[in-house]
């Protein structure tokens, strides 16, 4: 069965692209082309925005009741649940996510998002009367923000599309989705399911493409809000465009999160936690805990525990259920991660496990060895810059105050954890770390709670009522004259 496609999903149907340009989807495991799909151009974006604009300005979707929109999204949820295995396989094939992770997080988590947003939407205060300060009632409405540009990255494509499209739909917005050029295949399946669920024509449109296509979409005058997940560098450029146009935007950007190991931590539990959180999705995760902060009194114990856990991980074919680490998404990413391993060595850090070169037993594919560095100073580049691969840095600290200082000594502020047998001590640390999300002996994303970053990790929030509200404008309607 071919995975090739020859059209875009536009205005409720499959439309021919404006040019003959094609994107090649390359397996990170075999380095072979597995599919060809159209590459979006500015003309294709213009058509998609026109369809979304028409659907928002004249179509039924924004004018439906919230309950009617909820029914359509609920139908989509049921269809999605039935195809999760197929969706997971597509993501593993196109970007190399280990199938174990794909079936744990790449696809079930997006479905959980849909269900969570449905529950939130049923209780959301779409329109509520409140007493005014002047003695007369005021009606406060949450109305859709308009036409949304949704721009997900390649690392968790469905997870990041869903966090934008579902709240936008429930709010009454229309959407243009630009999937990353590395991962267009899962978006085609999603478009089919949305169409089958009965989403009206023009409400959601999909055009895959690269940087030029994305830049045209962000700057398009027909777009009211940009929702972006990706690098901090790209986020700054998008934020500048949106600021110039006074266009709404939410930006979920990079991270360099710290896992603080307190001196009473159970190292067996900590090592297993860091093993998952540090290199989840082969390290290609914005929330990865890539800085491990260890007390000087137990530093070598921590190094041994973390090094052993990471060094024992199985690297290989992402479709093999035994594989814990898959390939990097592209050759450029493999070269980037290998470059950082070389930088770490040049900076004087000690390689505990891993290092440069291909993992044993592999002679093709964009693989790197999962690597742990010890004797890392937080000022080193490997401790400050987002590597986006399976590379961890273990940094020593002197006392809890020093650990908090080091954890906060980063331009990023997305996630983090603390590991301790004293939950009150953990909570005291959690309250001091400048990040948008944090975990005590665990880390997860609860879709009923807001997710997002401090500092250079972004603007705005996804998930929870806060994430739904990002796709609305608040309007006050004064119902009567206040008493004189």
Nearest alpha-carbon partner for 52 in 219, 238, 189, 222:
222
Mean pLDDT along residues 79-97: 98
pLDDT at site 2:
81
CB-CB contact of 157 with 179 (8 Å): yes
* pLDDT score of 432 more than 70: yes
Told to judge if 286 belongs to the known catalytic residues of this protein, a careful annotator would answer: yes
Mean pLDDT, the chain, as a whole number?
A: 97
Residue 168, domain member (yes or no): yes
Within a domain: 452: no
Let me know whether 281 and 422 are in one domain: yes
User: Does 77 share its domain with 180?
Assistant: yes
Residue 369 has pLDDT above 70, yes or no: yes
Within this chain, do residues 463 and 421 fall inside the same structural domain, yes or no?
A: no
C-beta of residue 387 within 8 angstroms of C-beta of residue 288: no
Q: Are residues 90 and 208 in the same domain?
A: yes
User: Residues 3-20: what's their mean pLDDT?
Assistant: 97
Residue 2 lies in a domain: no
Could you tell me if residue 482 is inside a domain? no
Same domain assignment for residues 145 and 236: yes
Question: Residue 344 phi/psi, 5° resolution?
Answer: -60, -40
* The two three-digit tokens of residue 362, written as one number: 């592999």
As for how many domains the chain has, the answer is 2
Look up the CATH number of the domain holding residue 17.
3.40.605.10
Q: Do 249 and 288 belong to one domain?
A: no
Cβ atoms 44, 214 nearer than 8 A: no
Provide the pairing of β-strand 248-252 with 458-459.
Answer: antiparallel
Instruction: Describe the crossing of helices 157-171 and 84-95 by its angle, rounded to 10 degrees.
Output: 130
User: Mean of the pLDDT values across residues 125-149?
Assistant: 96
pLDDT at 351: 98
The string of pLDDT tens digits covering residues 124-133 is 999 999 999 9
Other Cβ atoms closer than 10 A to 450: 18
Residue 42 lies in a domain: yes
- Nearest residue to 270 via CA among 439, 124, 147, 126: 439
pLDDT at 361 over 80: yes
| 282 in the same domain as 245 | no
Cα–Cα dist 250/290, whole Å: 25
Q: Are residues 249 and 109 in the same domain?
A: yes
- What pLDDT does residue 484 have? 75
Q: What percent of the chain has pLDDT over 70?
A: 100
Find the domain containing 370 and state its range.
Answer: 257-447
In a domain? residue 483: no
Residue from 286, 324, 386, 462 carrying the catalytic annotation: 286
* CA proximity to 285, closest of 333, 342, 227: 333
Is the pLDDT at 325 greater than 80? The verdict is yes
Q: Is residue 63 part of a domain?
A: yes
Q: Is 78 left (phi over 0), alpha (psi -120 to 50) or beta?
A: alpha
Tokens for 161, please give them. Answer: 């599309």
Mean pLDDT for the stretch of residues 296-305? 98
Q: Could you tell me the end-to-end alpha-carbon distance of the chain, in angstroms, rounded to an integer?
A: 75
Number of Cβ within a 10 Å radius of residue 331: 14
355 pLDDT band, cuts 50/70/90, is very high
Q: Quick check: 66 pLDDT over 70?
A: yes
Q: What is the mean pLDDT of residues 176-204?
A: 98
* Residue 228 DSSP code: E
Whether 216 and 344 map to the same domain: the answer is no
- Across 403-431, average pLDDT: 98
DSSP string for 152-195:
--SSSHHHHHHHHHHHHHHHT-EEEE---TT--HHHHHHHHHHH
Based on the fold, state whether residues 382 and 234 are members of the same structural domain.
no
Q: Which tokens go with 213?
A: 């296509």
Q: What is the residue-wise DSSP string for 26-85?
A: E-TTT--EEEEEEPP-HHHHHHHHHHHHHHHHTSSGGGS-HHHHHHHHHHHHHHHHHTHH
Tens of pLDDT, residue by residue over 246-287, are 999 999 999 999 999 999 999 999 999 999 999 999 999 999
Residues 181, 145 share a domain: yes
Q: What angle do CA 328, 332, 338 make, to 5 degrees?
A: 70
Q: Residue 118 above 90 pLDDT?
A: yes
How many CA atoms does the CB half-sphere of 419 hold within 13 Å?
Answer: 22
Predicted confidence at residue 1, as pLDDT, reads: 60
pTM metric for this prediction: 0.96
Would 188 be classed as within a structural domain?
yes
| Mean local confidence (pLDDT), 437-461 | 97
Annotation says 173 is catalytic: no
- Residues shown for the chain: 484
Please identify which of the residues 39, 94, 182, 252 carries the catalytic annotation: 252
pLDDT surpassing 80 at residue 149: yes
pLDDT above 70 (res 365): yes
Residue 106 neighbours by CB under 8 Å, 6+ apart: 87, 88, 91, 92, 97, 156, 157, 158, 159, 281
* pLDDT at res. 282: 98
Q: Are residues 339 and 220 in the same domain?
A: no
CATH of residue 323's domain is 3.40.309.10
């Amino acid at each position: 069965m071919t995975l090739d496609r020859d059209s875009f999903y536009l205005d409720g149907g499959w439309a021919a692209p404006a040019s003959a340009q094609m994107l090649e989807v390359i397996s990170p495991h075999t380095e072979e082309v597995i599919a060809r799909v159209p590459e979006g151009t500015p003309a294709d974006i213009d058509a998609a925005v026109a369809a979304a604009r028409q659907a928002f300005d004249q179509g039924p979707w924004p004018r439906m009741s919230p309950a009617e929109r909820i029914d359509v999204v609920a139908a989509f949820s049921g269809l999605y649940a039935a195809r999760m295995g197929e969706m997971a396989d597509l993501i593993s094939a196109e970007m190399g996510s280990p199938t174990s992770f794909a079936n744990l997080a790449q696809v079930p988590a997006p479905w959980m998002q849909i269900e969570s947003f449905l529950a939130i939407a049923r209780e959301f205060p779409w329109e509520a009367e409140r007493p005014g300060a002047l003695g007369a009632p005021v009606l406060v409405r949450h109305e859709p923000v308009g036409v949304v540009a949704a721009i997900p990255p390649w690392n968790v494509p469905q997870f990041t599309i869903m966090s934008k499209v579902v709240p936008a739909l429930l709010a009454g917005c229309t959407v243009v989705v630009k999937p990353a050029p590395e991962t267009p295949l899962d978006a085609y399946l999603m478009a089919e399911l949305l169409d089958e669920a009965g989403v009206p024509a023009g409400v959601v449109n999909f055009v895959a493409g690269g940087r030029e296509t994305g830049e045209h979409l962000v700057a398009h005058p027909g777009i009211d809000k940009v929702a972006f997940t990706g690098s901090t560098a790209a986020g700054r450029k998008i934020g500048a465009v949106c600021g110039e146009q006074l266009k709404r935007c939410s930006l979920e950007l990079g991270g360099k999160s710290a896992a603080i190991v307190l001196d009473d931590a159970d190292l067996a539990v900590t090592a297993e936690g860091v093993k998952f959180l540090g290199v989840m999705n082969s390290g290609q995760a914005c929330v990865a805990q890539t800085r491990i902060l260890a007390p000087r009194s137990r530093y070598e114990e921590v190094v041994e525990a973390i090094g052993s856990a990471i060094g024992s991980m199985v690297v290989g074919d992402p479709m093999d259920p035994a594989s814990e680490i898959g390939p990097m998404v592209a050759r450029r990413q493999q070269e980037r991660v290998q470059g950082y391993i070389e930088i770490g060595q040049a900076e004087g850090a000690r390689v505990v496990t891993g290092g440069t070169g291909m993992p044993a037993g592999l002679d093709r594919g964009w693989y790197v060895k999962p690597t742990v560095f010890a004797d890392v100073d937080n000022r080193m580049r490997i401790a400050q810059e987002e590597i986006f691969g399976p590379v961890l840095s273990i940094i020593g600290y002197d006392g809890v105050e020093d650990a908090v200082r080091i954890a906060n000594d980063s331009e990023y502020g997305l996630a983090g954890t603390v590991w301790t047998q004293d939950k009150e001590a953990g909570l005291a640390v959690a309250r001091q770390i400048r990040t948008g999300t944090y975990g005590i002996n665990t880390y997860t994303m609860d879709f009923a709670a807001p997710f997002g970053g401090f500092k250079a990790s972004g603007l705005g929030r996804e998930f929870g009522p806060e994430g739904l509200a990002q796709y609305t404008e608040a309007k006050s309607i004064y119902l009567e004259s206040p008493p004189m």
